[in-house]
A and B are shown apart, each in its own frame.
Chain A
């Protein structure tokens, strides 16, 4: 056992084994690495490169134009409109669906009997085809034959032209967005709530937190920190990525009042085929996602060290 030769042998055998294990690992990971390069990394590099060119699909040649596309973006009214609309949409949908999601989760958590039923109902939109449900919403929002305006007429309010007027279209789309994501946020919050140890509530009670509100701010809210951060990031990212409802219901109109980032990129790149210019837009879109992620990490580092 203590012989040096044997120890040396064992060590080199172990090294050999380690090397062969490394080789097998490479083999097992190889398909993933190749596909990752092919479908994620390479396209990202390509999109950054294309953003510096005037590439258009259908034309053989293209040239490097430096920051021309980006300079153009700064003054492009459609793009600015699109950024602004996406921000407004996100500023409405993310906070409202988070607050409602948390509210519903808290209510369901306290509801002993019909809990399963309510959870199913609120979650239903997540499992539904959004493109299909958007069509239903279009009918609900129809200015003349839609049930929503018929309902408003009953109480004597003249209903707006929801999706058809430039001053209401973004809010109408936001309503659909909220309807779609409340249940998703609720499910995440419910998972966070069940992870809170019951004893904490008992302890808070002993410490004098008598009302439900006191207990919420003393225990629930701080303990939900990591969940909330996660829900916030996901909600913002998903709202920034709004596309389906816009493409389906408004095509960015009327008068570009519902142009959103992904729709503008889609239009530029795949309809007008101005790939170079659309690539520059895509880089801006990616930059927004990167900033959101960095913000999440910063907050994560600072605050939510509860678990």
Chain B
């Protein structure tokens, strides 16, 4: 013990203390999800529930919240957003990076401007437009505004610029069309950028509450954050057991994905350097 320098012990202690504070909400979430109502009221500091009430709380959460619908909506909406973002951004970024494109500079200005504008700034006119077209409460309204990601264009642009031109020249000599080059040469080689962007995009839209809250007012189209909000509003009271169980179920998918693909997640976030 004496051989370990004091500096290391202090460092380890500080890190552990901080980690404990970060983990505390998770610990209490799991513990409270297993407590009875009376348990919650009397002994909030004991982490092990007196009576194991997990099954009951989860059953209550699952019966009150259409969890399968929520998760399915979340997957569907995030999946479609990601699909369209990539489909639209990759050809555009390729044209800007690798073709003699006279409007490339203008496009760059548009992209930089676009980076500045969050959904919160465009939400009002979009809402009015979707309302006029009777598109509120639909997957279209949830997905459409995000099909264009200037951020994706920006990121793929950086990535494509670093790709060797020879690769493309060789494909052209083989007689491939430009679209063929994008599909069969660029996309397979852009895989690291695509995964990084996937993580960024999914985290951002899985978590988004603002836009779904605006365009959706029916359970059937609710995404996980919105569904949880409904559940909380309906169950208002202090039924924290069931609420924590619901919270746990909804948080789990992304956290598990993160734990499995940690390295990719961290890479994705540092590479994209942005958050929802």
Contacts and interface: CB of A to CB of B under 8 A. Distances in A.
A188 B153 CA distance: 21
> Chain B at the A interface: mostly helix, strand, loop or mixed?
helix
Given A32-B153, A104-B15, A244-B209, 16 more contacts: A25-B96, A28-B91, A36-B148, A39-B147, A40-B113, A50-B125, A119-B266, A127-B254, A128-B255, A129-B225, A129-B228, A145-B40, A147-B44, A190-B270, A266-B214, A289-B118
Contacts of B104: 25
A43 B125 contact: yes
B251 A129 contact: yes
Contacts of A114: 12, 15
A139 interface: yes
Given A28-B99, A31-B92, A238 B275 contact: yes
B199 to A, nearest CB: 9
Contacts of A270: 123, 127, 213-214
Given A111-B12, A128-B254, A293-B116, A39 B122 contact: yes
A28 B122 contact: no
Interface string B101-136: 111100100100110111011111111100100000
Given A128-B254, A130-B207, A187 B269 contact: yes
Contacts of A126: 203, 269, 275
A282 interface: yes
B99 A269 contact: no
Contacts, number: 266
A279 B102 CA distance: 35
B29 interface: yes
A202 interface: no
Contacts of B270: 187-188, 190-191
A145 B40 CA distance: 7
A1 interface: no
B81 interface: no
Contacts of A230: 273
A140 B25 contact: yes
A139 B244 CA distance: 9
A47 B12 CA distance: 51
B66 interface: no
A269 B127 contact: yes
Interface string A145-181: 1110011001000000000000000000000000100
Interface stretch (A4-12, A16-24, A80-88): A16-24
Interface string B15-32: 100110111111011001
B44 A145 contact: yes
B99 A40 contact: no
Interface of B: 8, 11-12, 14-15, 18-19, 21-26, 28-29, 32, 40-41, 44-45, 87-89, 91-92, 94-96, 99-104, 107, 110, 113-114, 116-118, 120-128, 131, 144-145, 147-148, 150, 153, 178-179, 182, 203, 206-207, 209-210, 213-214, 224-225, 228-229, 232, 238, 240, 243-244, 247, 250-251, 254-255, 257-259, 262, 265-266, 269-270, 273-275
B265 to A, nearest CB: 6
A275 B88 contact: no
B172 to A, nearest CB: 10
Interface string A38-49: 111111101100
